[in-house]
Amino acid sequence: MKLDINKAKEFYSQMLLIRRFEEKCAQEYSHQKIRGFLHLYIGEEAVGVGVIDALSDEDAIVATYREHGQALARGIPANSIMAELYGKAEGVSHGRGGSMHLYSAQKRFYGGNAIVAAGLPFAVGMALADKMAKRNRVTLCLFGDGAVAEGEFHESLNLAALWNLPVLFVCENNQYGMGTALKYAESETNISKKAAAYKISSHQVDGMDVLEVSKMAQKAIKSIKAGKGPQFIEAITYRFRAHSMFDAELYRDKSEVQEWKKRDPLLVFKDRLKEMDIVINTQEIEKEISKTVEDAVAFAEAGTLEPVEDLEKFVYSQGAVK
Amino acid sequence: MSENITYREAVKRAIHKALKEDERVFLMGEDVGRYGGSYAVSMGFLEEFGKERIIDTPLCESGFTGAGIGAAVNGMRPIVEIMTVNFSFLALDQIVNSASALFYMSGGQFNVPLVIRMATGGGNQLGAQHSHSLEGWYAHIPGLKVLTPATIQDAYAMVGLALEDPNPVLIFENATLYNKKGDFDEKAPVLAIGKAFVHREGKDITFLAYGVNLLKALEAADILAKDGIDAEVIDLRSLRPLDNETIMASIKKTHRALIVDEDWKSGSISAEIMARINEDAFYELDAPMARVCSREVPFPYAAHLEQAAMPQVDKIVQTAHEVMES
Ligand SMILES: Cc1ncc(C[n+]2csc(CCOP(=O)(O)OP(=O)(O)O)c2C)c(N)n1
C-alpha cells in the first residue's frame, strides 16, 4: 500500500487522539467528573480510524456504545464529545446522551447505540433509504463480536444481502463480550464465515494494523459503491482496558493482555512507517494532541448545565421533520 | 360527498393516496405485497407501485422495524405493517429503545418519522397469541404517539396524520373492524392527533372508549337512553397523547365516568385514565369511577369463553346502572 506523509500523519494523529482522549476520560472518571457507563476503545483504534478514513462525508456511520474513538475519527470535535461526557449543554446531545449516545447530524454519525445489535437493522434501513432514493452512499455499521449471537445480526445480514443494500458491516472482534470470551458464546468463532453464509462477501483483517484495515475498507467501499451489495469485515482486535469502568477483569489473564499489547496499533503503525521509510514527527503530534485534549477538558469544565426547565424538550419533535 | 365503505377500504385508500402523493412513502412488512396484506389492506398495491415500494419482508419483526427506523431517519416515509400486535413484541426493542428515544438521546438531531400499523384485539377465536389489545403498553412510552381509529373517517384520516407527524406513530387497527361499513367523506374535516372526540353528547355519565369498544359503548348508550339515562360517549382516538381536556370537561358535565377497554385492568390505559380523573377532577365526581375491561386471562379459543372474557354491551349497560345508582 502506498502511503503519503500527510496520510501517515493523519492516521497517527487520529489514533493518538483517541488514545490520549480516552486516557483522559478514565482520569476524569476517577475524579467523578464523568459518570455512568464508560467503555474505552483503547487498543482498537486502528479499526475505527482505518475504516472511517475510507468513507466520504456523505456516507453514514452507525456505531455502538464504545464509540468515542469512532466519533473522533469522524471529526466530531473533541470539545463537544467531552462536554457530552460531562453532561453539559454544549455536548453533542445536550447532555441527554452521555458516553453511549454520541450523535452528529452534520457528520452523519447516527449513534451511539447501547442495545447490543440494535444498530444493525437501523443501518440496513439507512442503506435501504439510500438505495430507494438512488443516492450512491454507504452506511458503515460497527458492532462487537457479542452482537453476533443476537437475532438481529442474522435478520439484518439476511435483509442486506437479500435486498443488495449498500452497507459495510464491520465486526470489531475484540474477543470478548464483557467477560464472555467468544469461544463461550459462539459455536463457530470465525464470524466472517457466518456472514458468508448469507452470501455476503466477507473478510477477516488484522485489526491492529491501520493500513491493513484501511486497505480492506477501501476495497469494500469501492465494491459497495459499484452497486455490488453489502460487504462484511471482521477486524481481529483487542481491548487493552476493562469492558467498562466497573469491570474488575477477572475473566482474563494479565499475561494475555500483555501479549496483545505487543501489537499495540500505535507501535505496529510506527514499525510500518519504518519499513516504508516514512518519517513523521511524533513528538510534535503528541504535543498537539495533548493540547487538544486539555482544551476539550477546559471546554467541558466551562460548559453550562442544560436548564432543568428544558427536561422535556426533545421528547417530541414539533413541526417539520429535521 | 359521502359514500359507504369498509374500514379496510378506508385504510387502503389512505395508504394508496400517500403512495401516490409522496415518493418517499413506502409500505413494508410480512406479506404486504404478493399476498396482498394479511388483512387484505394492500391488495393490488404491488402491481401498481412495484416491489421497490411495496416490500415483502421475511419474518423478522425486529429487523424490518429497525430498517423502517433507519429509512425514516434517512429521509424516507416508511409505513411498516406488523401483522398483529402480539408479534410486535419481537420488535419491541426497536420501537421502545430506538424509535421512541432517538430524538431525545440525540438532543433533537434525529427525527424518526416512522408509521407502524398493526392489527389488535380479540373476538375472532384466534387464541392467546393473536388476540390481545396491547396498545396501552405502547401508550406508556414517551416519544411514541399511539392512535386507535374507531371510525371509517379516522381509519382513513389517521394514516395521513401519522405520515405528517415527525415522530414515530403507531396505529392500532382492531381486526374486527376491517369489515365494518360506514359513511365516508374524503373531504371531511380531520381532528388532530391528541384530540378525543365527543361522539354522542349526554348529561348523566361519560363513557370513555376507543377502537371497537367505541361501537359497543354507543350501543350501550342507545339502550340506556330507553331507561332514561343519557350517556355521553367519548372516542379517545389517541392513547398518547391522551386528551385530558376533553375528558375532564365531560366529567365536569356528567360527574360520572365509565371506561370501556378490551385490555386487562391491571396496569392498563383504563387505570391511567382513572388516575388522571382522580388527579384533575376528583371533586366533580358524584360516584366512584367504573370500568369494563377484559377478564384477566390469556384469551381463550372457544367462542363462549372468548366472548365472556371481553367487554360486552350488556355488561356496559349493567355497570352504567350501578354507577348511576351509587
Ligand atoms: C441487548 C443487550 N444485551 C446485553 C447488554 C449488556 N452488555 C453491554 S456490552 C455487552 C457486551 C457486548 O460485547 P461486544 O458486542 O463484543 O462489544 P464490545 O463490548 O466487545 O465492544 C453486554 C452483554 C446490552 N447492552 N444490550
Q: A-chain residues within 8 Å CB-CB of B97?
A: 115, 118
Question: Does pLDDT of A218 surpass 70?
Answer: yes
B273: how many CB neighbours lie within 10 A of its CB?
A: 21
Domain closes at, from B153, B184, B215: B184
**3 state DSSP class of A220:** helix
Is residue B47 included in any domain, yes or no? Answer: yes
pLDDT digits (tens, 9 = 90+) for B278-320: 999 999 999 999 999 999 999 999 899 999 999 999 999 999 9
What is the average pLDDT value for chain B, to the nearest integer? 97
* Partner-chain contact B166 A95, CB within 8 Å: no
Residues B176 and B31 in one domain: yes
What pTM was estimated for this model as a whole?
0.93
* B262 plus B152 within the same structural domain: no
Say yes or no: B93 and B227 in one domain.
no
pLDDT given at position A1: 63
- Are B210 and B167 part of one and the same domain? no
Q: Is the CB of A265 under 6 A from ligand 1?
A: no
Is B179 in the same domain as B212?
no
Are B68 and B159 found together in one domain? yes
ipTM above 0.85, yes or no: yes
Decide the pairing of beta strands B115-120 and B25-29: unpaired
Give the Cα separation of B98 and B87 in Å (integer): 18
Same domain, B23 and B44: yes
pLDDT at B208: 98
Among the candidates B184, B207, B228, a domain finishes at B184
Q: Residue B189 domain-assigned?
A: no
B278 located within any domain: yes
Q: How far is the CA of A250 from the centre of ligand 1 (A)?
A: 17
Please give the Cα distance from A161 to B219 (Å, whole number). Answer: 52
Average pLDDT over residues A199-210: 98
H or E stretch covering B205 = strand B205-209
- Ligand 1 geometric centre to CA of B286 (Å): 54
Tell me which residue range forms the domain holding B253: 197-325
Q: Going by DSSP bridges, is the β-strand pair B231-235/B197-200 parallel, antiparallel, or unpaired?
A: antiparallel
Q: What is the pLDDT of residue A317?
A: 93
Residue A236 pLDDT exceeds 80? yes
- Residues B176, B207: one domain? no
Query: Are B35 and B81 within one domain?
Result: yes
- Domains of chain A plus CATH, in order, are 5-302 (3.40.50.970)
Is residue B191 situated within a structural domain?
A: no
Indicate whether B250 belongs to any domain: yes
Q: What is the pLDDT of residues B216-237, one digit of tens each?
A: 999 999 999 999 999 999 999 9
Q: Where a domain ends, among B155, B184, B213? A: B184
Percent of chain A topping pLDDT 90: 97
Task: Count up the domains in chain B and report the number.
Answer: 2
pLDDT at B326 (0 to 100)? 87
Q: Which of A39, A44, A178 to mutate to test the pocket of ligand 1 (most atoms within 8 A of CB)?
A: A178
Residues B254 and B174 in one domain: no
Please name the member of B24, B107, B113 whose beta carbon is closest to the beta carbon of A94: B107
Residue B192 domain-assigned (yes or no) = no
Both B176 and B107 in a single domain?
Answer: yes
Does residue B203 sit in the same domain as residue B158?
no
B131-163 pLDDT tens trace: 999 999 999 999 999 999 999 999 999 999 999
Q: Which three cell numbers stand for residue A209?
A: 494494523
The DSSP call for residue B265 is: S
Which CATH number goes with the domain that contains B209?
Answer: 3.40.50.920
Residue B246 located in a structural domain: yes
CA nearest neighbour of B264 among B294, B292, B289, B291: B294
Per-residue confidence (pLDDT) for residue A316, from 0 to 100: 96
